[in-house]
Chain A
Amino acid sequence: MTPLLAEGTTRAAIGAAEGALQQGAWLLVALPLAGAALLLLGGRRTDAWGHWLAVAASWGAFVYGALLFLDLRSLAPEERVRDLTLFSWMPAGGFQLDAGLLLDPLSLAFVLLITFVGSLIHVYSVAYMEHDDDRRRFFAYLNLFVASMLLLVLANSYALLYVGWEGVGLASYLLIGFWNHNPVYATAAKKAFVMNRVGDFGLSVAIMIMFATFGTVTYAGVLPNAGEGSTNAMTWIGLALLLGACGKSAQFPLQAWLGDAMAGPTPVSALIHAATMVTAGVYLVVRSGPIYEAAPTAQLAVVIVGAVTLLFGAIVGCAKDDIKKALAASTMSQIGYMMLAAGLGGIGYVFAIMHLLTHGFFKAGMFLGAGSVMHGMNDSVEMRRYGALSGAMKTTWATFGLGWLAILGVPPFSGFFSKDGIIETAFATGEGWRPWVFGMATLIGAGITAFYMSRLFFMTFQGRKRWPAEAHPHESPSLMTVPMIILAVGSVALGGFLFVGGRFHDWLEPVTGAVEEHHPVIAKYPLMGLTLVLVAVGVALAWRQYWQAEVPQTAPRGSWITRAARKDLYQDDVNEAVFMRPGQYLTRSLVFTDTKGVDGAVGGLAAAVGGLGGRLRRWQSGLVRTYAASMLAGVVVLLLGVLAVRG
């Protein structure tokens, strides 16, 4: 694949942060971090008001982020990339690294997404977690998450990014396992952290290669010089970064943790496992664009991972009866779209991030909707026991419906602009088989998405009611519905707002560079029509099966593909067979040989030196002096030996 931005790439140069506003940007991270620290150290004393402190810290970060955004927007585009050095962080010999932040259109777009959606979810959680004894701890972790996520996107070096990267992993671990008195949830939390660490292994290796190649790990040092490095080095860096991105963003083959992560309280699923943290991998790839442009093989790998994951998630999503797991599969699939777009480069970067933003709104909205449904249905997640909830919870139904239209890509809702852009770019990028294969993957994915999302929507809100006798569905309090309404507004309008007039494209240009238009192998408007037809077919199929027909309360056995999809295409079975069981066997046998073998051999050797035979047990009989004397004799021999060869 020829680099798309070979000519005409004009990324803006980095300037120093100026003015109190830019130089105080560390407050963005510090505010929620202080909130978390206060709540954790304050203990039970802060139970009464702690959640409001957390809400305030998060909104405070949003306000600061918005001011920064306005500040950057007032500058000329080529001056919108600002570097803020904070302090000397790791001055260790050959490795000199300052902690610093990079304020640019890309990081600011994330800051706004994280703090705005994050703050809405904070508000929602005040009501959602009202009856939990540990609500304060929950808010402390949420604040910790926001702080880490902001650090991740604002860092000006791969090493500082790594701090945020593992920080969000920790917050995710703590929140997935928030109800870890349930052993299944505790296992889910651990699984998420460990699989993320597999990804972090990749990120670590990437950083090592970077330092050996460039002698620095800052964006300013690595990215502009990526073209100077050998293709080999860039390819390995790109692949290692991709491994990190796969772990964090639940992309194939490190996707298995995301479904289980739904063990966390639903606001967590909305914020961390839908809107922000899981999209960090896409951020990493887009941020590292120059590296991938210098490494076509790695770039192709990104596209393949995205294509595989988008289909994988979509197939799994068709078979799940648990509303949160169905949404999780959808998240995986949608991030697959973003990843694919990021791998295409050029205009793909813009659509990847645009889809990330619109997805952040509509998917968070739908997760909050799912939480609202669970709230009204005694925490049941079983869609086969829902049905006809549209009447009982009108606001939830309406906001969820708008999110549904957005993810389907129905014009003029948000998802239409961003997803259609990705499909078009996939059909327009590369030569030979590539536009066809990757284009078809996104196209088919769109059809399947329409099916499984409609299935989810109809099973929950339409058709006939299948509630258990004790269920009394009711609308949630306004602390929960207002955030849902605001996110629904984003589901409707954000895509159009960003797309029309190339607004978002122009905004990102200093980071992604200017791009020339490519022409898709299928013309633009027929392609759009084809997409919409597929979407309509998907909706119609779901309508027939899950609205018109009776939905059985126990899942039918289903075809082999349904059964495979229910089991997440056997991802856990594969991991268990390939990694877990051999690992356990290895550990057990090492423990056995360590006591019997290594210890025995060394002990035997020591005893032999002492001239007293290999019986370890006799060590206990107090023959220390004998041993010591024998050793001393040995020492004398050794000494003579050394002195003899000395000259």
Chain B
Amino acid sequence: MPWLTIMGLLPLLGAVIVWALPNGRDQLARAIALITSLAVLGLGLGLAIGFDVSSAGLYQYAENYRWIPQIGASYAVGVDGIALVMVLLSAILVPVCVLAAWNEYRGNAARNFFALILVLETFMIGVFAARDVFLFYVFFEAMLIPVYFLIGQFGGAQRRYAAVKFLLYSLLGGLVMLVAVIALYHQGPGGEQGFLTGSLTGVFAADAAGAVPVMAERLMFLGFFLAFAIKAPMWPVHTWLPDAASEAPPAVSVLLVGVLDKVGTFGMITLCLPLFPNASRWAAPVIMVFAVISVLYGALLAIGQSNLMRLIAYTSISHFGFIVLGVFAMTTTGQSGSALYMVNHGFSTAALFLVAGMLISRRGSSTIGDFGGLQRSTPVLAGAFLLAGLSSLALPGLSSFISEFLVLVGTYQRYPVVAIVSTLGIILAALYILITYQRMFTGPKQEFASAWRDLDSREMWVVAPLVAVIIALGFYPKPVLDVLTPAVDRTMQQVQQVDPDPAVQIAEGATP
């Protein structure tokens, strides 16, 4: 069975049904959206159970059909460990987001909103599962459309500005990447299936005469990398994210920052490194510098924000800096950490955005200064925010700690100074979370919140799964790491790197 295709098409089918519903059937539209996304999640879990962990470095559930043979494009999908985990992340977050936005819209708006979310899910699954560079590119660009409409139609006061800015930045990156995609095809073996990732990997290995087209590889690498750096927002091409994330509805921000932006770092680790190994190694030191700047810059900017949603967006820029750090440190520890970070950041940012959304919908404002004293009024909501925040500052025992720790340890092996400077980010993280908590939740009880209800049962269902995953992966990340590490090992081979040896060789058997 073509399970991945079924999984990818299911939400599209749901979207069509939702759109086809007559006006006035809002409740049914919501229910169909939720059921569809839950069915996708069920399928995803099934795929995870059937996944052969022992060969997680190989692409499984693979499908391969000729699509446009004239230009060498194929419809080829399949998941390795990293892709599987990213697909699952999307499948878990979509139902949570549907539930979070349950009561936000009525009538046409409701149908549009949920249908667009489902369309987006199709593209997200597609982009992570694509095993053909052209197909990847198509999904990569197609994702922009639902997000553009979701921000532009359902966002805040500045939504049009934010949506256009998002679109332009993304298009710029995408088009530069398109150049590289086409150039890459010409470099490769060509033919009717010349865009298959598999056949393009190794194109830039030295030929028999030891010759490598250095310049071409570097330019193509940069084409891909720029697109991914805009998507994952790295400093200095990050400025679209705070606008987009603060204007978009919280559920869309979750998918945008939690999943879509990961396509950037996912692309770095699964395309940039394997396709352009020499150029990746060449560019790594410079990219590390940009990553450190992102870590510190994002955190400092977060500290200075007065708008809650913008603040969360800037924390993500800092976190993406960490992910890039681990990818380009090119150690197994760092890359495993980065791959895990992509998952963990998805959950913790989702929790943060969604709880923030609940607060904002109660207060009617996203300005931090408009809140205060809420720990006394709505203790459970306060607790949920604090927990999400603690996950964002990578408190040990919560999932983000494991990934941040691995990234830093792995980075230090090759770039000690970079790692130490980045570690300053943990101090800044404590500041941006705890200052915000202090301003919004501590202090005397205030008048405005006197009639507020604490989390209701629907909201509990939104928060509880995220919290459960955050805590479970904090204590026991092994199931996810086991799936990720074989894929990381393969990437390390493709990029021709091995871990540096420790300075002291400990005799066998000395460590338990």
Taking Cβ atoms with an 8 Å cutoff, the residues of A that contact B are 14, 16, 40, 43, 83, 85, 87-95, 98, 100, 159, 162-163, 165-167, 170, 173, 177, 180-183, 186-187, 190, 193-194, 197-198, 200-201, 204-205, 207-209, 211-216, 218, 220-221, 224-225, 228-230, 233, 586-588, 590-591, 594-595, 598-599, 601-603, 606, 609, 619-620, 622, 624, 627-628, 631-632, 634-635, 638-639, 641-643, 645-647
Residue of B nearest to A591 (CB): B304
B16 to chain A, nearest CB (A): 27
- Residue pairs across A and B with Cβ atoms less than 8 A apart, 15 shown, are A92-B481, A92-B484, A163-B401, A181-B376, A186-B438, A193-B430, A204-B408, A208-B408, A211-B502, A212-B416, A216-B506, A619-B164, A620-B161, A632-B175, A642-B183
Contact check, A162 vs B489: say whether CB atoms are below 8 A apart.
no
Within the complex, which residue of B164, B176, B441, B506 is in contact with A215, where a contact is CB–CB below 8 Å?
B506
Residue B335 at the chain A interface, CB threshold 8 Å: yes
* Complex alpha-carbon distance, A591 and B431, angstroms: 16
Q: Which 5 pairs across A and B sit closest by C-beta, in order of nearness?
A: A93-B332, A215-B502, A186-B442, A208-B412, A92-B336
Chain B residue at minimal CB-CB distance from A95: B333
- The reply to whether B186 and A643 form a contact with Cβ atoms under 8 Å apart is yes
Which residues of B, 236-270, contact A by the 8 Å Cβ criterion?
A: 236-239
Q: Please measure, in the bound complex, the distance between the C-alpha atom of A52 and the C-alpha atom of B277, giving whole angstroms.
A: 61
CB distance B438 to A187 under 8 Å?
A: yes
Q: Are A598 and B438 closer than 8 Å at their CB atoms?
A: no
Q: Which residues of chain A come closer than 8 Å to B413, judged between CB atoms?
A: 94, 211-212
**In the bound complex, CA of A602 to CA of B510 (Å):** 54
Complex-state Cα separation, A49 to B437, whole angstroms: 30
Task: Report whether B171 and A224 are in contact in the complex, using a CB–CB cutoff of 8 Å.
Answer: no
- Which of the residues B178, B301, B512 comes within 8 Å of A14, measured between beta carbons? B512
Q: A90-B477, A606-B169, A631-B171 are in contact. List 19 more A-B contacts (CB 8 A).
A: A14-B512, A89-B476, A95-B332, A95-B410, A163-B397, A181-B376, A190-B434, A193-B434, A201-B426, A214-B502, A215-B502, A221-B510, A224-B510, A590-B304, A591-B305, A594-B239, A599-B239, A606-B168, A620-B164
Q: Which of A166, A197, A211, A642 has the most CB of B within 10 A?
A: A642
Task: Give the CA-CA distance A9 to B68 in the complex, in Å.
Answer: 74
- CB of A161 to closest CB in B, whole Å: 10
> Once the chains bind, are A93 and B499 in contact (CB under 8 Å)?
yes
Q: Is B182 in contact with A639, judged by CB distance below 8 angstroms?
A: yes
Q: Does B494 touch A at the CB level, under 8 Å?
A: no
Contact A218 B373 (CB under 8 A): no
Q: Are A213 and B504 in contact (CB under 8 A)?
A: yes
A186-B443, A594-B301, A602-B239 are known contacts. Are A88 and B478 too (CB-CB below 8 A)?
yes
Interfacial chain A residues near B179, Cβ < 8 Å: 635, 638-639, 642
Whether the pair B375, A180 counts as a contact (CB closer than 8 A) is: yes
Known: A620-B164, A632-B175. A208 touches B502 (CB 8 A): no
| A94 & B332 in contact (Cβ 8 Å cutoff) | yes
Are B236's CB and A602's CB within 8 A? yes
Question: Nearest chain A CB to B355's CB is how many angstroms away?
Answer: 17
**CB–CB B402/A90 < 8 A:** yes
User: Within 8 Å CB of A14, what residues of B?
Assistant: 512
Distance of A182 Cα from B444 Cα, bound (Å):
6
Which of B183, B395, B435 is the one whose CB lies under 8 Å from A190?
A: B435
Neighbouring A residues of B430 by C-beta, 8 Å: 193-194, 197
Q: Which residues of B contact A162 (CB under 8 A)?
A: 396, 405
Is B216 in contact with chain A by the CB < 8 A criterion?
Answer: yes
The answer to whether A181 touches B511, judged by C-beta atoms less than 8 angstroms apart, is no
CB distance from B275 to the nearest CB of A (A): 14
> Which of B79-87, B358-366, B417-425 lies on the face that meets chain A?
B417-425
B406 contacts the other chain (CB 8 A)? yes
CB distance from B111 to the nearest CB of A (A): 25
Bound complex: CA A640 to CA B478 (Å): 47
Chain B interface residue count, Cβ-Cβ cutoff 8 angstroms: 98
Most buried by B among A100, A601, A638: A638
Partner of A95 from B171, B406, B504 at Cβ < 8 Å:
B406
- Within the complex, the shortest CB–CB distance from B457 to chain A, in Å, comes to 14
B167 at interface, CB cutoff 8 A: yes
Residues in A with CB closer than 8 Å to B180 are: 642
What's the nearest-Cβ distance from chain A to residue B421, in Å? 10
Q: Among B167, B239, B331, which residue has its beta carbon within 8 angstroms of that of A94?
A: B331
Contact of B32 with A by CB under 8 A: no
Tell me, in angstroms, the Cα distance from A510 to B424 when the chains sit together: 37
Q: State the Cβ distance, A552 to closest chain B Cβ, in Å.
A: 34
Q: A167-B396, A190-B435, A204-B408 are in contact. Are A587 and B304 (CB under 8 A)?
A: yes
B419:A208 contact, CB within 8 angstroms: yes
- A92 B512 Cβ-Cβ under 8 A: no
In the assembled complex, the Cα of A40 lies from the Cα of B387 at a distance in Å of: 12
Residue numbers in A under 8 Å from B423 (CB-CB): 201, 204-205, 208
Provide the bound-state CA to CA distance between A396 and B331, in Å: 60
Assess the A181–B410 pair: CB atoms within 8 A: no
User: Which residues of B have CB within 8 Å of A594?
Assistant: 239, 301
Known A-B contacts A91-B482, A586-B300; A631 and B175 likewise in contact (beta carbons under 8 Å): yes
- A587-B510 contact given A190-B438, A635-B175, A643-B186, CB 8 Å threshold: no
User: Does A159 lie within 8 Å of B485, measured CB to CB?
Assistant: no
- Which A residues lie within 8 Å of B402 (CB)? 90
Q: How far is the CB of A163 from chain B (nearest CB, A)?
A: 4
Is B286 part of the contact surface with A, judged by Cβ < 8 Å? no
Do A92 and B216 form a contact, CB below 8 Å, given A208-B419, A642-B183?
A: no
* Cβ of B288 under 8 Å from chain A: no
A606 and B503 CA atoms in complex are apart in Å by 47
Q: Does residue B220 face the partner (Cβ distance < 8 Å to A)? A: yes
Residue B199 interfacial (CB < 8 Å): no
Minimum C-beta distance from B368 to chain A (A): 13
A200 & B426 in contact (Cβ 8 Å cutoff): yes
B114 at the interface (CB under 8 A from A): no
Contact assessment for B300 and A590 in the assembled complex, using a CB-CB cutoff below 8 Å? yes
> For window 161-220 of chain B, which residues contact chain A by CB distance below 8 Å?
161, 164-165, 167-169, 171-172, 175-176, 178-180, 182-183, 186-187, 213, 215-216, 219-220
Q: Are B183 and A194 in touch, CB under 8 angstroms?
A: no
From A87, A90, A627, contact of B406 by CB (8 A): A90
* Distance of A326 Cα from B344 Cα, bound (Å): 44
Which B residues are in CB contact (< 8 Å) with A631?
171-172, 175
A634 proximity list for chain B (CB < 8 A): 175
Which residue of chain B has its CB nearest to the CB of A592? B304
Q: B504 contacts which chain A residues (CB < 8 A)?
A: 213-215, 225, 228-229
Cross-chain contact A230 with B304 (CB below 8 angstroms): no
Known: A93-B488, A212-B412, A646-B213. A201 touches B482 (CB 8 A): no
Residues of chain B within 8 A (CB-CB) of A212 are 412-413, 416, 500, 502-503
- In the complex, the answer to whether A642 meets B506 with C-beta atoms within 8 Å is no
CB-defined contacts of B396 to chain A, threshold 8 Å: 162-163, 165-167
> Closest CB of chain A to B409's CB: distance in Å?
5
* Closest partner residue, chain B, to A641 (CB atom): B219
Complex contact A588–B304 (CB within 8 A): yes
Q: A186-B442, A200-B426, A230-B503 are in contact. Are A645 and B219 (CB under 8 A)?
A: yes
Contact call A638/B333, Cβ cutoff below 8 A: no
Indicate the member of A92, A634, A645 with the most B CB atoms within 10 Å.
A92
Chain B's closest residue to A85 (CB) is B512
Kindly state whether residue B340 has any CB partner on chain A within 8 Å.
yes
Contact of A92 among B219, B304, B333 (CB under 8 A): B333
Does B145 sit at the interface, judged by CB under 8 A?
A: no
The yes or no answer to B140 lying at the interface (CB within 8 A) is no
Bound Cα distance from A646 to B481, whole angstroms: 39
Residues in A whose Cβ lies below 8 Å from that of B416 = 208-209, 212
* Among B216, B336, B427, contact of A645 (Cβ-Cβ < 8 Å): B216
- For B414, the closest partner residue in chain A by CB is A212
Q: Report the minimal beta-carbon distance from A645 to chain B, rounded to whole angstroms.
A: 5
Indicate whether A221 sits within 8 Å of B216 (C-beta atoms), given known contacts A93-B499, A205-B423.
no
Give B484's nearest chain A residue, CB to CB: A92
Minimum distance in angstroms from B307 CB to a CB of chain A: 11
**A397–B375 CA distance with the chains assembled, in angstroms:** 38
Q: Nearest-CB distance from B340 to chain A (Å)? A: 7
